[in-house]
Every structure is written in structure tokens, then in C-alpha cells.
Structure 1
Amino acid sequence: MRIQSPSLSELHAFAVAARVGSYSRAADELAVTQGAISRAIARLEEHLGQTLFAREGRRSVLTPAGADYLAAIAPAIGAIEAASVAVRSRRPAQGLRVSVAPTLFSHWLIPRLPDFRARHPEVTLSFAPYQRDDALTAPDIDAWIRVGQPEWPPGIAADYLVGRDVVPVCRPADLDGPQAIRTPADLLAHPLLCHTHYPDNWQRWLAGVGCAHGPLRPAADLETVALLLQAVAAGLGVAVLQRSLLAPDIAAGRVAIAIDQPVSLNRGYFLCQPSARPPNPALRVWRAWVLGQAVATEG
């Protein structure tokens, strides 16, 4: 059967031009050129054998035939638009539940999550409570971001993200004046703050940059990176921390890198998942995005 109806592009051009009374305004609304609107309506008029618009000054107004045609087709155009919106809204949401180490979550991941939401609105992302000794097998969690070393238990697939490189941090004021920190040895004149779970950070960094030292006497040990950064900003001492976690505090002027000589340790943050689980499209999207963010951070 020969199709008698015109194309949707012609119908949209006609309907919008009729509503706004101008070919140029219709072109702006539909993000096409005025010439494209004019040609579409000319094809429609030729197809129907009727003049649909007449000029009145700068306005394009419907002829009686145009008004009758608009009244007949407007409900059909509206029905097509409504049906299309309804079908799109029924696209299945892709759920993803992730457990993330709190330090990386607050200092690195959260500022980047708006980018993920903008790029992948189809993925519903939720976060499970973090458990330090989680076996990485909970059935209601799709992936974990954990601190670890390259060797993971059998059945766990792990991708390195960030966190291997550590640097010493101080107050910005500690980099100026006659007592300014200039060399690794200068740091030893300041109180050394340590991470409770990684007390060897200072020793490993000093060894990595070739700085000889005597016995290290930490002034305090604190349990989280957030507390260490607060202590450094308050002038309580200097600390060795993962470089990838420092950007917000450096940008705010709270801390500064004391000596820009990163030392790479054999641990960092890894994206982990059970390798035997069925493929999860949302997890593939998340993995590609988070690895891209990691490359941008450490690249």
C-alpha cells in the first residue's frame, strides 16, 4: 500500500511553525536552519496540494486549509510524542551496589561522582557500609574499592586504581621563612605524625628518597587520613600520605606537599569483584569510568 502521510520531520516543522508563527523561531526551537523549515513546509504543501501558510508582515499565519490540517494532525503528533516518552521511561534501571573505603570515598570519589551520574544516568548507584575485613563475597554487593596489595585471594579480580605514591605534607607556611622545608632532612626537625595502620610510611618514604636518619620518634599517630590532614593544617607536625588524596586540601590552601618526591609503595586502592559472577552491564560501565578517573589522577 502506498503511504499517503508525509514525513514526521515535515509535520514537526509545520506544527511548530504554526504554534510560534515564524519559520525562523521554529528553526531555533528545532535546532535546524530556517531554510530547512521552509523546505519541509514546501514539500508538505506540495504533497497535500494546499497552501498552509500566508504572510502577514513578519508573521506566518495559517490559511484555512492549514488550520484544518493542524487541528486534524495535532492529536496524532501528541500521541506519538507521549508514546515515545513512555517507552523511554520504561528502560530498565541498572542497579549497582558498591562498598568503598571511607578515606578514598570522601577525599577522591565523591567529588567525581557528579561526572558519573551525568554520563550514566541509567545506572542506579548505591553504597554499602564499609567493613574493613570484608571477604569480598557478599551477594548484595557488586564491587568493592579496598586498600590492598597486588596479591588478592583466589576468585577475586582486582584492578589497581590510585594510592601507591606517597609524599610528605606540611602547612603552606612551613615552606617559607628562614626555617623553610627545603630538603627531606629538614622534615626531621618537625614533629612526625603517623598513620595508625601504616606506621612505616615515614621510614619507607625517607628510604625511598635516600635520606639517612636516626631512630624515628613519632609525635602522634592518628587513625585516618582526614585526622592527619587536620593535624597538619593545625600545625601539629608533618605527615606522609597518599598523593592522590590531597587535591581538595591543597586546593583549599590547608596543606602543601613539602617535598615533591613521591615514593611508590606496594599497596593502594583496588577495585575488586568476584571473578565467577555473571557479567553485570552496570559494573562494566562503572569499572570503565572509575579506571578512567584513576588514569586521569595519576597520569
Structure 2
Amino acid sequence: MRIRSPSLHELHAFAATARLGSFSKAAELLCVTQGAVSRAVARLEEHLGQSLLLRQPRGNELTPVGRSYLELIEPALQTLESAAVAQRAAEGPTRLRISVAPTLATKWLIPRLPDWQALHPQIALSLAPYRRDEDFGDPDVDAWLRPGEDLWPAAVTAEYIVGRDIVPICRPQELRGRQALREPADLLSRPLLYHSNYPDNWRQWLEAVGVLGAQLKPSADFEQVAMLVQAVVSGLGVAVVQRCLIDDELAAGRIVVPFEQPVQISRGYMLCTRRASQSQRALRSLRQWLLAQGS
């Protein structure tokens, strides 16, 4: 069947111009340029072989044909808009399942979820189990927030969110008295506590702030940042951790950053999604929100 009706773009351009009386106001309403609206109306007139608008210096007026045509198409346009709104409402609430590294979930993501809920009440986030040996094959998981650098499977897109800044931490009393920490090299006089999965953090931070060639002797190591921070709070020594994971302890005054010289490492927490699912509206919203939280 031959389709005789013009495009929706042309119909919307004409209807908006007819209602508002000018191409510029119609362009603002439709979020396009004034030229795009003018050309769309001209194409519509050419398609119909009729003049629909009288172009006047102070605006546009409908011709009798234009007024009659507007009365015919407006109910159809309203029906299409109502159908689009109804279909979106029919989609109902959306649920995203995201696998998150446990420490990041506890220390960074969960405290921020009330903001997500306020902005996106129709999209519920639920946390899926975290696996160190993730193969990104679980169809029930929509996204992963996990540590890493640049090497990921071909079917996965990874984007940095947060976690590359590392800082030293100590108890507040380490900054008082005759033996107070006064410069970065003074940290070497304290027991150095290590993250067992990332033992190179101390060397990277010290070298970045100019402490070169130090003989590093770890006093103890811990597998999780929460344990590492608690060891510092308990007075076992000093540590280097990712800045994003210590907001609560800093706010409560249980620990301090003795030297505000954050150092960036190559490793951070990455948002990983399957390339095939990136067109989902909910995932795009999640990505934008996480990027804003990490900035």
C-alpha cells in the first residue's frame, strides 16, 4: 500500500507553529532549530500542494486550508502522544541487578542509594552476589561495579567510576605531640599496614610524593579495607587506602588523612555492562548517575 500521509516530524512542526504563531517558538517547544521547523512546514506544504501558513513579519497565520487541516490532524497527533505516554506507564517499575564489590557497596554505594531512589523511583536497584572470578555471563545481572584496569572481555564495556585516588590514613593522635607526623617520610617510623591484594599501594604513594628508595617493611596485612581501617583505628599502624572508601570514618573523626596528597593509581572501580544491553534506558540512567557520584 502506498503511504500518502506526511512524516510525523512535519506534522508536529506544522501543528506547533500553528498553535504558537512562529517558527522560533515552535523550535523551542520541539527542541530543534528554527530552520528545521521552517523546512519541515515547507515540505509539508509541498507534499499537500497547498499553502498552510501566511508568513507575516510579526508571525505566521493559518490559511483557511491550514486551519481546516489542523482541525483534522490534531486529534490524531493527540492520540499518538497519549498512546506513547500510556505505553511508557504500562512498562511499570524497572529492576536492575548490579553486582558490586562488597567494600564499595558498603562504604560508597549504599549510602548514596537514597539519592538514586529520589531521582529514579521507578527503577529499583538490587545487589547481586559478587564473584571474584566473574565471567559476565549471568543473564540475571545487568551491570557490574568491580575493581580493574583496562583489560576486559570483548563483549563488555568498562567505564571508570571511582577509586583511583589513594591516601595515607592514621589515628588523629598521630598528628599531636613531639612524635607527630610532620612530613610523608615520617610515616616510615610507624608500623606499615598493607592490603594483601594490593601490596604495592605503599610504594606507589610514597614515590609519588617524593619519598624514594625507602626500605618498606610491612607490619601486617589485611584482605579487606574495612579490616585495614579498623586496624588503624585500633592503633596497629598506618595504611594507604582508596579515598572513596573512608568517608564515614573521616566524618566521625576515627581516622585522618595526615597528608592531603592524593595519588592516582591505574586501578579503580569500573562500571561493566554487556555491549548488547547498553541501549536500555534504565542502564543509561544508572551510568549517568554513577558518573555524577564519582566525579
**TM-score of the two chains, using structure 1 as the length reference:** 0.67
Q: Deviations over 1:79-120 (max 9, x none)?
A: xxxxxxxx9985511121100001111111111000101111
Partner in structure 2 of residue 286 of structure 1: 286
Q: Give the counterpart letter for 2:168 in structure 1.
A: P
In structure 1, what is the Cα distance between the partners aligned to 2:134 and 2:115?
A: 28
In structure 2, what is the Cα distance between the partners aligned to 1:117 and 1:170?
A: 34
> SS at the partner of 1:194?
strand
In structure 1, what is the Cα distance between the partners aligned to 2:266 and 2:88?
A: 47
* Divergent runs of 4+, >6 A: none
Partner in structure 2 of residue 243 of structure 1: 243
- Native 8 Å contact 1:208 1:263 kept in 2: yes
Partner in structure 2 of residue 267 of structure 1: 267
2:94 matches 1:94? yes
- Native 8 Å contact 2:146 2:271 kept in 1: yes
- Native 8 Å contact 1:250 1:256 kept in 2: yes
In structure 1, what is the Cα distance between the partners aligned to 2:239 and 2:251?
A: 18
Q: Deviations over 1:236-262 (max 9, x none)?
A: 000000111121110011110021111
In structure 2, what is the Cα distance between the partners aligned to 1:162 and 1:109?
A: 11
Q: CA deviation at 1:152?
A: 2.0
2:111 matches 1:141? no
Q: Deviations over 1:49-95 (max 9, x none)?
A: xxxxxxxxxxxxxxxxxxxxxxxxxxxxxxxxxxxxxx998551112
2:113 matches 1:123? no
Partner in structure 1 of residue 178 of structure 2: 178
Q: CA deviation at 1:216?
A: 1.1
Partner in structure 1 of residue 226 of structure 2: 226
In structure 1, what is the Cα distance between the partners aligned to 2:214 and 2:126?
A: 48
In structure 1, what is the Cα distance between the partners aligned to 2:150 and 2:209?
A: 23
In structure 1, what is the Cα distance between the partners aligned to 2:278 and 2:104?
A: 27
Aligned residues: 210
- Native 8 Å contact 2:171 2:254 kept in 1: yes
**Cα pair distance change 1:278/1:190, threshold 3 Å:** closer
Q: CA deviation at 1:127?
A: 1.0
In structure 2, what is the Cα distance between the partners aligned to 1:117 and 1:220?
A: 40
Q: Give the counterpart letter for 1:138 in structure 2.
A: D
2:165 matches 1:165? yes
After the TM superposition, which residues 1-299 of structure 1 pair with which residues of structure 2 at under 5 Å, given as runs? 92-277=92-277, 279-295=279-295
Partner in structure 1 of residue 9 of structure 2: none
Partner in structure 2 of residue 59 of structure 1: none
Q: CA deviation at 1:150?
A: 2.4
In structure 1, what is the Cα distance between the partners aligned to 2:152 and 2:184?
A: 34
Larger radius of gyration: 1
Q: Deviations over 1:238-296 (max 9, x none)?
A: 0000111121110011110021111111110000001123622211111111111111x
In structure 1, what is the Cα distance between the partners aligned to 2:207 and 2:265?
A: 11
Partner in structure 1 of residue 30 of structure 2: none
> SS at the partner of 1:138?
coil
**Cα pair distance change 1:278/1:243, threshold 3 Å:** closer
> SS at the partner of 1:160?
strand
**Cα pair distance change 1:237/1:289, threshold 3 Å:** same
> SS at the partner of 2:204?
helix
**Cα pair distance change 1:110/1:176, threshold 3 Å:** same
Q: Give the counterpart letter for 1:171 in structure 2.
A: R
In structure 2, stretches of 5+ residues that fail to align are: 1-86
Q: CA deviation at 1:215?
A: 2.2
Q: CA deviation at 1:154?
A: 1.3
CA-based RMSD of the aligned residues comes to 1.8
In structure 2, what is the Cα distance between the partners aligned to 1:190 and 1:213?
A: 17
- Native 8 Å contact 2:278 2:284 kept in 1: no
> SS at the partner of 2:153?
coil
Q: Deviations over 1:128-175 (max 9, x none)?
A: 000011012211100000100023221211110111111110001111
> SS at the partner of 1:146?
strand
In structure 2, what is the Cα distance between the partners aligned to 1:130 and 1:91?
A: 29
* Aligned residues with identical type, % of pairs: 53
In structure 2, what is the Cα distance between the partners aligned to 1:140 and 1:201?
A: 34
